[in-house]
Amino acid sequence: MESANLHCMILLILVLILTCNIITAFSAAPATKRFHFNVEWKQVTRLCHTKPLLTVNGEYPGPTIAVHEGDHVEVEVTNRVARNTTIHWHGIRQYRTGWADGPAYITQCPIREGHTYTYKFSVVDQRGTLLWHAHFAWQRASVHGAFIIYPRLPYPFSPKIQAEIPIIFGEWWNGDVDAVESEMMLHGGGPNSSDAYTINGLPGPLYPCSAKDTFVRAVEPGKTYMLRIINAALNDELFFAVANHTLSVVEIDAVYTKPFSTQAIMIAPGQTTNVLITVNQAPDPSGMFPMAATPYVTSIFPFDNSTTLGYLKYRGPKSSDESSKPSVVVPNLPRMTDTPFATEFLNKLRSLATPQYPCRVPKAIDRRVITTVSLNLQDCPPNQTCEGLHGKRFYASMNNQSFVRPLMSILEGHYKNFTASQMLTSTFPERPPKEFNFTGVDPLAENMNTEFGSKLLVVPFGMNLEIVLQDTNFLNPENHPIHVHGHNFFIVGQGFGNYDANVDPAGYNLVDPPERNTVAVPIGGWAAIRFKTDNPGAWFVHCHLEVHTSWGLALTFIVPNGPGPSQRLLPPPDDLPSC
Ligand SMILES: *[C@@H]1O[C@H](CO)[C@@H](O)[C@H](O)[C@H]1NC(C)=O
Ligand SMILES: *[C@@H]1O[C@H](CO)[C@@H](O)[C@H](O)[C@H]1NC(C)=O
Ligand SMILES: *[C@@H]1O[C@H](CO)[C@@H](O)[C@H](O)[C@H]1NC(C)=O
Ligand SMILES: *[C@@H]1O[C@H](CO)[C@@H](O)[C@H](O)[C@H]1NC(C)=O
Ligand SMILES: *[C@@H]1O[C@H](CO)[C@@H](O)[C@H](O)[C@H]1NC(C)=O
Ligand SMILES: *[C@@H]1O[C@H](CO)[C@@H](O)[C@H](O)[C@H]1NC(C)=O
Ligand SMILES: *[C@@H]1O[C@H](CO)[C@@H](O)[C@H](O)[C@H]1NC(C)=O
Ligand SMILES: *[C@@H]1O[C@H](CO)[C@@H](O)[C@H](O)[C@H]1NC(C)=O
Ligand SMILES: [Cu+2]
């Protein structure tokens, strides 16, 4: 009897080992993947303007990082320019490795000219498309690239994918982008807008002197492709569509979704979206189908209202007329101000929520923080001239705190128990300091000044936290893509107008809400996000419209160490840059 049981157990173990082997045979075993990034200038020409462009390894967009789920990653970054820099691995959880997160003055001091810092972290329980980008000044404009995490298990969707096509959106300036930021901060006005949008660094044929810089990708008729779409633009949310083709959304921010079909997508800066596209149209004479991106605009500021165009080129019989010109007709994109389309699209996003990929949304919460996300109009300091509206200066804030980056690493200060800095007080207000009709007031009748500082929000380890992000119509209401570092969150609710804590929670989706790292808070509305504070460290929360981060639309929250030895922030690496 006993020996029979033993045999059973041995058999079971054998079966388990075999099954495991089959699973790991699908992809390589976890490994350490090493990359070398040189941050360097490169002469680049677009729209007939040649300028030194800040790049990684001379590439624009930068090199793709491709790893497998479970891999350990080491990226040695050497700064070869006379400016400071840092790199952020956008959406990577950085569990216990906050030192490798990257935002300057939050988790590290900048990497100075001639210095090297090696970012070391593991990629755990995430799969799909993310991005990496510089997190210093406005360097993200050209210092960015795809971060692809291949899954250990087969994709949970069909049909079979012929190939994948990265589609990275960016913005091109004819001038120096860092100068655009410094000029704006010096005079208090709005920033210059970009001169072009780009697909994989190429503006396409709708711009002057640009037809030769057009992204074209050959595809096999009848096959299905996966587009890994990344919005690395600085200041613009975008609509994207491919002429005559339907897109099927299967993943956002490296989390699988319930698939759904759509003619176009809305994608905010910092967000990623994987879509399937089946190449099933009768090719037009040129065999080229245009794809295009154009902004989704909720701002009153001047903006880049142009359209970037690329092509899918059907591979076909030679009979296709080589001389016929490809269509430059923009595919069916929503109007630039089409908030109903953006809302409808975002409302279709749902976590896959299967036993294999469960949706771990907190059903109950320990704390709710309510914060405004707001633009501000600051009185001009005496004896200065300011170029914002009414001779004042533009700023932005959360709960009337306009975030100022201290000239030190907050994470290091936290780790070393610094109390010296007056700025690092743990008193970020958990409610708006003034209750008013956030989305109904006449802004110009209001005092739109803000306060400046680096107050920290401190939350206990392991709690279920809800943050309600409330837009205001100070200056004007806008859609703000809010990015949280170190944690994915669930968007349990969103709506227009003012959040009502007595009414709105009843409408939350606590079954299959979308899980993301960046939420596009509706214009003149609110979004409620939930997550478990399971990652000790100092984490930046900010608007991914870079202009708003420069104006202070940000906060930093601290998660202390948990009780267990594996719930503590790891010690800082030896090569961590100092200020
Ligand atoms: C911003 O645009 C203005 C007007 O086109 C131009 O004169 C100025 O040089 C630009 N600033 C920067 C920093 O590119
Ligand atoms: C693509 O769609 C447009 C209308 O949306 C139509 O005019 C055109 O003929 C279509 N092209 C092909 C090749 O089907
Ligand atoms: C973009 O803005 C410019 C200047 O305001 C205007 O002349 C042009 O018609 C606009 N283009 C589109 C496509 O809206
Ligand atoms: C502003 O300028 C006036 C006259 O030039 C001067 O008297 C005053 O001290 C200045 N104020 C400040 C705050 O610099
Ligand atoms: C910081 O304070 C905690 C608790 O007071 C202590 O355990 C830890 O050793 C201190 N860390 C440093 C680097 O001083
Ligand atoms: C806020 O203002 C809007 C627009 O004036 C109005 O429709 C709404 O009823 C107001 N809400 C509250 C709570 O007063
Ligand atoms: C924000 O702070 C400024 C400066 O203290 C103050 O003047 C303003 O009334 C405050 N606004 C709100 C909405 O709390
Ligand atoms: C780089 O950052 C350090 C630390 O904040 C600062 O002291 C230094 O002045 C900066 N260098 C440049 C070129 O901006
Ligand atoms: Cu914003």
Nearest CA to ligand 8 atom 3: 579
The pLDDT of residue 419 = 53
Q: Is the minimum distance from the CB of 177 to ligand 1 under 6 angstroms?
A: no
What integer pLDDT is reported at residue 538 of this predicted model?
96
Closest residue CA from atom 12 of ligand 6: 437
Contacts of 142 (CB under 8 A, 6+ apart): 53, 54, 55, 60, 61, 170, 177
Q: What DSSP designation does 522 have? A: P
Residue 174 C-alpha to ligand 1 middle, in angstroms? 9
> Which ligand 1 atom is nearest residue 174's CA?
14
- Check if 407 has its Cβ closer than 6 Å to any atom of ligand 8: yes
Best mutation site among 171, 192, 193 for ligand 1 pocket (most ligand atoms within 8 Å of CB): 192
Per-residue pLDDT of the chain in tens (579 residues, 90 and over written 9): 334 443 434 333 333 333 333 333 345 688 999 999 999 999 999 999 999 999 999 999 999 999 999 999 999 999 999 999 999 999 999 999 999 999 999 999 999 999 999 999 999 999 999 999 999 999 999 999 999 999 999 999 999 999 999 999 999 999 999 999 999 999 999 999 999 999 999 999 999 999 999 999 999 999 999 999 999 999 999 999 999 999 999 999 999 999 999 999 999 999 999 999 999 887 777 788 999 999 999 988 889 999 999 999 998 754 455 556 777 778 889 999 999 999 999 999 999 999 999 999 999 999 999 999 999 999 999 989 999 999 999 999 999 999 999 999 999 998 987 654 555 667 899 999 999 999 999 888 889 999 999 999 999 999 999 999 999 999 999 999 999 999 999 999 999 999 999 999 999 999 999 999 999 999 999 999 999 999 999 999 999 999 999 999 999 999 999 999 999 999 999 999 999
Report the chain's C-alpha Rg in angstroms: 24
Q: Which residues line ligand 7 (CB under 6 A)?
A: 400, 433-434, 447, 449-451
Q: What are the DSSP calls for 271-295, one per residue?
A: -EEEEEEE--SPPPTT-EEEEEEEE
C-alpha 207 to ligand 9 mean position (Å): 27
> Which stretches of 389-468 are DSSP H helices?
410-415
**What is the residue with the minimal CA distance to atom 6 of ligand 5?**
417
Tell me, in angstroms, the distance from the centre of ligand 2 to residue 281's CA. Answer: 9
CB proximity list for 41: less than 8 A, separation 6 or greater:
52, 53, 54, 55, 81
Closest ligand by atom to 384 CA: 4
Ligand 7 atom with the smallest distance to the CA of 399 is 14
Neighbours of 306 (CB within 10 A): 19
- Taking the centre of ligand 4 as the mean of its atom positions, its distance from the CA of residue 384, in whole angstroms, is 10
Lining residues, ligand 5, CB within 6 Å = 416-417
Q: How far is the CA of 402 from the centre of ligand 6 (A)?
A: 26
Query: Any idea what DSSP says for residue 193?
Result: P
- Distance from the Cα of residue 163 to its chain's centroid: 24
Ligand 6 atom at minimum distance from 437 CA? 1
What's the pTM?
0.92
Q: Whose CA is nearest to atom 5 of ligand 2?
A: 244
What span, in angstroms and rounded, lies between the C-alpha atoms of 519 and 482?
Answer: 5
Distance CA 279, CA 390 (A): 53
Closest residue by Cα to residue 256 from 160, 340, 153? 153
Residue of 227, 187, 498, 537 whose CA lies nearest to 370: 498
Q: Do 401 and 555 meet the contact criterion of CB atoms below 8 Å apart?
A: yes
What pairing do the DSSP bridges indicate for beta strands 272-278 and 247-252?
A: antiparallel
Interatomic CA distance for residues 235 and 120, integer angstroms: 29
Burial class (CB in 10 A: 0-12, 13-18, 19+), 21: exposed
Looking from the CA of residue 332, the nearest atom of ligand 2 is 5
**Protein residue closest via CA to atom 4 of ligand 6:** 440
Q: Whole-angstrom Cα distance, residue 106 to residue 17?
A: 44
Ligand 8, residue 110: give the atom nearest the CA. Answer: 2
192: Cβ below 6 Å to ligand 1? Answer: yes
Give the number of other Cβ atoms within 10 Å of residue 578's Cβ: 11
CA of 236 to the centre of ligand 9 (A): 10
Q: Where are the beta strands (DSSP E) in 99-189?
A: 116-122, 128-134, 144-150, 163-172
Map residue 334 onto helix, strand or coil: coil
- 264 close to 310: Cβ distance less than 8 angstroms: no
Going by alpha carbons, the residue nearest to atom 12 of ligand 1 is 180
C-alpha to C-alpha distance for 302 and 272, rounded to whole angstroms:
25
Question: Residues near ligand 4 with C-beta < 6 Å?
Answer: 382-383
Give the Cα separation of 359 and 250 in Å (integer): 15
Amino acid at 112: R
- Classify strands 163-172 and 224-231 as parallel, antiparallel or unpaired: parallel
Q: Side-chain half-sphere of 203: how many Cα atoms within 13 Å?
A: 25
SS (H, E, C) 337-395: CCHHHHHHHHHCCCECCCCCCCCCCCCCCCEEEEEEEEEEEECCCCCCCCCCHHHCEEE
From 411, 415, 417, 568, give the residue whose CB has the most ligand 5 atoms within 8 Å, as the site to mutate: 417
Considering every ligand atom shown, identify the ligand nearest to the alpha carbon of residue 178 and give its number: 1
The whole-number pLDDT of residue 324 equals 66
Question: 468-504 as b/e, with b when 16 or more CB fall inside 10 Å?
Answer: bbbbbbbbebbbbbbbbbbbbbbbbbbbebbbeeeeb
Nearest CA among 280, 262, 198, 267 for reference residue 228:
267
Q: Give the position, in ligand 2's atom list, of the atom nearest the Cα of 289.
A: 13
Residue nearest to atom 1 of ligand 1 (CA): 192
* Structure confidence at residue 368 (pLDDT): 98
**Distance (Å, rounded) from C-alpha 437 to C-alpha 460?**
31
d(CA 53, CA 72): 30
In 3D space, the residue among 421, 523, 429, 512 whose CA is nearest the CA of residue 476 turns out to be 523
